[in-house]
Structure 1
Amino acid sequence: MAEDDPKTLVSTGWLERHLKDPDLRLLDASWYMPGSGRDPKAEYDAAHIPGARFFDIDEIADLRSGLPHMAPTAEKFISRMRAMGVGDGHQVVVYDGAGIYSAARVWWLFRLMGKTDVAVLDGGFPKWQAEGRQVEDMAPILRDRHITVSRQAHLVRDVTQVAAAAKLGDHEIIDARSPGRFAGTEPEPRPGLRSGHIPGSKNLHYATLLHADGTMKDAKGLRAAFAAAGVDLDRPAITTCGSGVTAAILNLALARLGKHDHALYDGSWAEWGMYNDLKVAKG
């Protein structure tokens, strides 16, 4: 079990001990790939950890973009968090219905907005339920709460910046997708995208960082996974994936290792795979 750290990752035991803390805010950020057959909001309505609010990754996003769930503006983030009663002085814990999956994206999003008192629940809702801990089906009463944000632009990269990094080779570009999608031997789940990967990028499937029960490996295990993927942790890193969700699991792991110089490519393959003028590597 990974060591509890309220700025990165906390255990189910830690959460149960702190569940009634007045300044704890719990977010169910479950999200699944299109075609998975799972409805995260319906699952939340049926059962969630007591006090959890539902964080809709597809709605709390920049809907003006043609790309899926791109990071929202600071103004929209403030509006949604105030309405959910999440604000300054709160310790936020985010979980999802897969273990560690989409929760890491919301952890990264809070950090992008300058909020660092935020952690992912290790093992998520599956572990919480497997241990027989309390659940409920009632949504919490929400009270407006003031929140201030300070967008940390260094934590996100756009397509121009990633293209420059790929050309210069001055960053480790780490792709969290499956080996087959990275190699271009598996079709992309989103129609119309080319197959392959960003030239010069390294493949580290996000699942490699997790145990079978959905909890994150300890520091030794994480370092071994990055090393096996050929990643030099002394170099600045940019993470990427299909649409900027599982890439955040890599960012969470890097933060667990005490690394600070890492950013997330928000458009990820949903953007890169769409433009024919961007080079694609295979194999």
Structure 2
Amino acid sequence: MTIKRILIGTALAAASGLAFGAESAPALVSPAWVAANACKSGVVVLDIRSPVGGGGNKFTYLRGHVPCAVYSNYKTAGWRVKEKGVPGMLPSVASLNKLIGGLGIDNTAHVVIYAGGGNALDMGSATRVFWTFKVLGDDNVSVMDGGYKAYVAGKHPVKRGAHKLSSAQFSGHLDAALLATEANVEQAIKTGNEKLIDNRPSAQYLGIVKSGADKRAGTLPGASNLPQSWFTVNDGGKFRSAAQLKELYRHAGVPTSGRQINFCNTGHWASLGWFVSYELLGNKQAKVYDGSMTQWSRNPQLPMVTKVKLSQAN
């Protein structure tokens, strides 16, 4: 079967409201698709908004959510942990298996993740959890394009209160091909064999602004800047088309193929860059540097580049 036929078949399935199989789940599904499939057998919708309703939404999960969606707090449920003083790191496989299984998700479920959808930063929550499933070897996972904000704007049905599923057995395994380590980044800098992509705002890339989690300002030697806000329309919750994304990659001088390592401060924005490259543009050689600049900047022996050096005078 040709790639064109596969894409056409996926589009027709989405339009008709059919559930997807484990090998054909698309990276993005529309709010309309979610509304039509959220309560169907084999589909688990996962709401990962913050308790106060991230992305500018006025609704918490209990006050309004996609029907049949289960809830897990992205910040506190255990999707990310502090490791050796570095926040936001990928937990152990055993911990993630327990977390996911506890939500009622097994290895046969088509998981659809949604964030608030207020901006690209917010959508990074969904792509980070999506990447986590992929790292665990689960390909039957999607992100709702536009997040909850787009879902509500489409006047789709909303439910109040909590929806819980019975605990299930989830068994993941680490796919190291999607994960870059500090040692991998050191090797990439030395050899130039992997493109380094800084997905932080340009001010952080240039060294004008430093995240509070980082010990030093600047970026990795040889890195190109592709800010997270470029990936969504007007820095909102809806991802740009592949054609627009390719234009932006060209503008930033970043190839859309080949070995790449996406990084930011703690691996949140980097998951957006990875999602766009790996899923929306089809580059299966893209990785996420989980520790990112927060880990890297803690070691004074590791090189960094500050592109704009301001005087110390007030």
TM-score strictly above 0.5: yes
User: Contact 1:82–1:145 (CA<8 Å) still a contact in 2?
Assistant: yes
Matched residue type, 1:86: I
Greater RCO, 1 or 2 (C-alpha within 8 Å, sep 6+): 1
2 CA distance for matches of 1:22 and 1:38?
Answer: 29
Offset of 1:98 from its aligned partner? 3.2
What SS class does the counterpart of residue 102 from structure 1 fall into?
Answer: helix
Matched residue type, 2:96: F
Residue matched to 1:23: 42
User: Contact 2:38–2:66 (CA<8 Å) still a contact in 1?
Assistant: no
Classify 1:270/1:118 alpha carbon distance in 2 versus 1 (closer, same or farther; 3 Å).
same
User: Contact 2:197–2:260 (CA<8 Å) still a contact in 1?
Assistant: yes
1:87 aligns with 2:111: no
Offset of 1:25 from its aligned partner? 0.8
- 1:44-59 aligned within 5 A: 44-58=61-75, 59=78
Offset of 1:52 from its aligned partner? 2.0
2 CA distance for matches of 1:278 and 1:87?
Answer: 41
2 CA distance for matches of 1:84 and 1:94?
Answer: 13
Offset of 1:65 from its aligned partner? 4.0
Residue matched to 2:255: 232
- 1:144-163 aligned within 5 A: 144-163=167-186
User: Contact 1:166–1:200 (CA<8 Å) still a contact in 2?
Assistant: yes
2 CA distance for matches of 1:53 and 1:63?
Answer: 25
- 1:1-283 aligned within 5 A: 6-30=25-49, 43-58=60-75, 59-99=78-118, 100-190=123-213, 193-212=215-234, 213-254=236-277, 255-283=279-307
Classify 1:163/1:46 alpha carbon distance in 2 versus 1 (closer, same or farther; 3 Å).
farther
User: Contact 2:205–2:225 (CA<8 Å) still a contact in 1?
Assistant: yes
Matched residue type, 1:44: Y
Offset of 1:39 from its aligned partner? 11
Higher mean alpha-carbon deviation, 98-107 vs 3-12, is at 3-12
What is the root-mean-square deviation in Å for CA atoms of aligned residues?
2.3
Matched residue type, 1:221: Q
Calculate the TM-score normalised by the size of structure 2.
0.81
2 CA distance for matches of 1:232 and 1:28?
Answer: 33
Matched residue type, 1:198: L
Higher mean alpha-carbon deviation, 205-214 vs 237-246, is at 205-214
Which has the higher Rg, Structure 1 or Structure 2? 2
Matched residue type, 1:45: L
Q: Structure 1 residue runs of 4+, over 4 Å off?
A: 37-40
User: Contact 2:189–2:222 (CA<8 Å) still a contact in 1?
Assistant: yes
User: Contact 2:136–2:175 (CA<8 Å) still a contact in 1?
Assistant: yes
Offset of 1:166 from its aligned partner? 1.5
Calculate the TM-score normalised by the size of structure 1.
0.90
Structure 1 residues 95-122: Cα deviation after superposition (integer angstroms, max 9, x where no partner): 1113522100000000000000111110
Where in structure 1 are there 5+ consecutive unaligned residues?
Answer: none
